[in-house]
Structure 1
Amino acid sequence: MFIKDFSQAAAPLTRLTREDVLWKWNERCEEAFIKLRKIVGKEITLKTLNYDKGSGKIKLAIDSSYIAAGVALMQEDESRKDIPVLYESVTFSRLEPKYSQPKLELFIVERILKKLQTILWGKHFELQVDAKTLIETINTPCLPNAPITRWMAYIQLFSFDLVHKQGKTFTMPDVLSRRPK
């Protein structure tokens, strides 16, 4: 999320994080906190899904790294702007990060669809991913082993259009799947 003049607005708060500063909450800190909370609250207002005919397109954006997976469920508003419905970040077991990247991407799609089954079952949506190998796997499946066969069978129960998004423009789910620097 981009916040105009963030460093200026947050300066009283970020100053408190320095080791050479005595931590003291004052009026400037309170004002900065309230101002930032209002800005963030406006930007991250989640909406409920509207399933009515003619309502905006439902979009599910999924990205994974070897650390975690990030998910954003959105719906277009009247001006075709994507409004967030749900954000999710999923961590992996000790074994799962050892999967190959294509296998990991497929696994997380199946896992997220299971988690969101009650929301997405029977509804057509757009599945957005940044991994071209995942698109190839779903569109022309080669089923080399039992887990992948099960995952593909489950994924194919849903009605969706698969859309590739460029990694650098795929920020919403990507930020949820990365370790902060």
Structure 2
Amino acid sequence: MFIENFSQVASPLRRLTREDVDWDWDQKCEEAFQKLRRIVGEEITLKKLDYDKGSGKIKLAVDSSYIAAGEVLTQEDKEGKDRPVLYESITFSKLESKYSQPKLELCGVARILKKLQTILWGQHFELQVDAKALIEMINTPCLPNAPMTRWVAFIQLFSFDLVHKPGKTFTMPDGLSRRPKNSEEEDEDAPEFDEEEDWIKPHPGFGAKNVN
């Protein structure tokens, strides 16, 4: 479990564990305890996606490395805070790991949307990426090969606002994209994503452009 600024928040409580300090549960200790309890109980716990009208904005952050595509799905609460819904990491095959970085980034977004299509289909959301080239590929595609063109066609079936995020603020999806593969995921002969199945045509609305 990761708690941002944990050392600073928990400092009054950690002080009580020292042998040279008398036990004194003061106001600072109580405030630290209540803050940690709130973070663990509300801010870290995964929430269900709320599809009701007027519910908070859905945000999907995606990043890719040569290892995997990582994503963080969140939804704004009534106070405007992003609450985590899902964390995901999809490893690339050895063939995919050799893609150029722009092609890898595009493949990562397509893979993530394929994985999340049952919960994002028909919903408007904010798609966050840190690669500016990816924004251009999706918005004004002029791509060098057929697989990338098909990936963009699939991505454009979803309704989203495409937003660029600086890499230094993209630590969570970046970290998930670098998750080491386990032994079961090492498959030298794994097919490329585009070769697995005819995964575009079965989707209702194929060919409709609804990127904002």
Q: TM-score range by the shorter chain?
A: 0.7 to 0.9
Taking structure 2 as the reference length, the TM-score comes to 0.67
Q: CA–CA distance in 1 between the matches of 2:70 and 2:148? A: 21
Tell me by how many angstroms 1:146 deviates.
Answer: 1.2
What amino acid is aligned across from residue 138 of structure 2 in structure 1?
I
User: For residue 105 of structure 2, what is the aligned residue in structure 1?
Assistant: 105
Alignment of 1:61-76 (within 5 A): 61-76=61-76
Unaligned runs of 5+ in 1: 11-34
Shift of 1:67: 1.6
CA 1:179 to 1:86, structure 2 compared with 1: closer, same or farther past 3 Å? closer
Shift of 1:79: 1.1
SS in 1 for 2:6: coil
Report deviation, 1:154.
0.5
Give the share of equivalent positions with the same residue, in percent.
74
The equivalent residue for 2:140 is 140
CA positional deviation for 1:172 = 2.0
1:78 corresponding residue in structure 2: 78
> What letter corresponds to residue 48 of structure 1 in structure 2?
K
Query: For this pair of structures, how many residues does the alignment match?
Result: 155
Segments of 5+ residues of structure 2 without an aligned counterpart are 15-32, 181-212
Secondary structure at the counterpart of residue 141 of structure 2: coil
**Cα separation, 2, equivalents of 1:179 and 1:53:** 36
Q: CA RMSD in A?
A: 2.4
Task: Tell whether 2:60 aligns with 1:60.
Answer: yes
Structure number, greater radius of gyration: 2
Query: In 1, are the aligned partners of 2:69 and 2:109 still within 8 Å (CA)?
Result: no
Runs of 4+ in structure 1 displaced over 6 angstroms? 6-10, 37-40
Q: How many Å separate the matches in 2 of 1:86 and 1:179?
A: 16
What is the TM-score with the length of structure 1 in the denominator?
A: 0.78
Superposition deviation, residue 118 in structure 1: 0.6
Q: Which amino acid aligns with 1:77?
A: D
Query: How far, CA to CA, are the matches of 1:102 and 1:119 in structure 2?
Result: 26
